[in-house]
């Protein structure tokens, strides 16, 4: 359900984009976003890459507001992958500082909007300041009943699947030791070991900057997700680009393997 009239959520749409076309009963419950293009945005302007990452913060704010107001219940943003450690040391250090400062600066506003903040990924590898900022955000917002913002940081889907497989093996061994019989292996049992346990699979994945790959993101969870790829670089992504993604999703015929 929309938090306010849709014309207030999207008050000044570009010509040809009508927010009134959005069907509130068909807004995806879970939207995942691969935020790509910060570096290219900066390069086009002869700026260093970190300036591009800083410029992308406003796009995150816009997307959070639009998603929450439009009735999305879960928004997952891919902030830093397990492969991103390969980037230059100064960029990685700058990103970690940016995560910490941004999270601390934004958490009060998110809390006022009843947004719950959580993370997925291996937080143990993060600098203390960054990890503590995310933990503070979780503790402050964990009882909120609005949209859940899931920040994927030091996240890799293959790593997550291995984590779930190890958890499943441990569970099977425990059951055998306790009662001599292992339970049947099911998708539901396996999913308990995923970082996203308890979160519904995304109905819509948005990827910016024109790239056409999933980049080790939610490989298990994206089995029947609708993809929306746009050439727009992440710092230029705004609520109207988000609206375009929602409208594209609502035009799809989701058959889940059926006719």
Give residue-wise pLDDT tens across range 159-182. 999 999 999 999 999 988 888 888
Tokens of 81: 């992958």
Asked if residue 234 is part of any domain, the answer here is yes
Q: Which of 48, 84, 97, 144 is catalytic?
A: 84
Asked if residue 104 is part of any domain, the answer here is yes
- Give pTM, 2 decimals: 0.96
Alpha carbon 253 to its chain's center: 23
Q: Which of 36, 38, 69, 154 is catalytic?
A: 36
Length in residues, the chain: 259
Full domain range(s) for residue 98: 27-155+201-250
Stretch 37-45: mean pLDDT = 97
89 assigned to active site: no
Stretch 178-190: mean pLDDT = 89
**77-110: pLDDT as tens digits:** 999 999 999 999 999 999 999 999 999 999 999 9
Number of domains within the chain: 1
- The closest of 58, 16, 38, 56 to 244, measured between CA atoms, is 16
Asked if residue 9 is part of any domain, the answer here is no
Three-state SS at 36: coil
**Residue 191 in this model has a pLDDT that exceeds 80:** yes
Asked if residue 243 is part of any domain, the answer here is yes
Tokens of 212: 């056409």
Asked if residue 192 is part of any domain, the answer here is no
Asked if residue 129 is part of any domain, the answer here is yes
Contacts within 8 Å (CB) and 24+ apart, 141-146: 141/107, 141/110, 141/111, 141/115, 141/116, 141/117, 142/116, 142/118, 143/116, 144/111, 144/114, 144/115, 144/116, 145/114, 145/116, 146/68, 146/113, 146/114, 146/115, 146/116
Q: What angle do CA 143, 145, 151 make, to 5 degrees?
A: 75
**Residue 206 in this model has a pLDDT that exceeds 70:** yes
Those residues whose C-beta lies under 8 Å from the C-beta of residue 108, and which sit 6 or more positions away, are none
**125-170: pLDDT as tens digits:** 999 999 999 999 999 999 999 999 999 999 999 999 999 999 999 9
CATH number of the domain to which 44 belongs: 3.40.1180.10
Asked if residue 117 is part of any domain, the answer here is yes
36 assigned to active site: yes
Asked if residue 161 is part of any domain, the answer here is no
Contact 120, 150 (CB under 8 A): yes
């Amino acid at each position: 359900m929309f938090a306010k009239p849709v014309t207030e959520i999207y008050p000044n749409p570009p010509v040809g984009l009508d927010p009134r076309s959005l069907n509130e009963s068909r807004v995806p419950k879970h939207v995942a976003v691969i935020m790509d293009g910060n570096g290219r945005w900066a390069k086009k302007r002869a700026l260093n890459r970190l300036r591009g990452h800083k410029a992308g913060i406003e796009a995150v704010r816009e997307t959070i507001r639009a998603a929450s107001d439009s009735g999305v219940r879960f928004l997952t943003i891919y902030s830093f992958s397990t492969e991103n450690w390969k980037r230059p040391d100064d960029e990685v250090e700058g990103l970690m500082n940016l995560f910490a400062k941004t999270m601390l600066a934004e958490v009060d506003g998110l809390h006022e909007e009843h947004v719950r903040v959580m993370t997925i990924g291996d937080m143990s590898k993060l600098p203390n300041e960054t990890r503590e900022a995310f933990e503070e955000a979780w503790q402050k917002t964990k009882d909120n009943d609005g949209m859940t913002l899931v920040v994927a940081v030091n996240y890799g889907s293959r790593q997550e699947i291995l984590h779930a497989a190890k958890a499943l093996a441990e569970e099977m061994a425990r059951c055998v030791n306790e009662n001599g019989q292992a339970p049947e292996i099911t998708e539901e049992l396996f999913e308990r070991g995923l970082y996203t346990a308890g979160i519904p699979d995304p109905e819509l994945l948005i990827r910016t900057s024109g790239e056409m790959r999933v980049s080790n993101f939610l490989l298990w969870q994206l089995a029947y997700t609708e993809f929306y790829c746009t050439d727009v670089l992440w710092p230029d992504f705004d609520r109207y680009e988000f609206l375009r993604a929602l409208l594209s999703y609502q035009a799809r015929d989701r058959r889940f393997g059926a006719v």
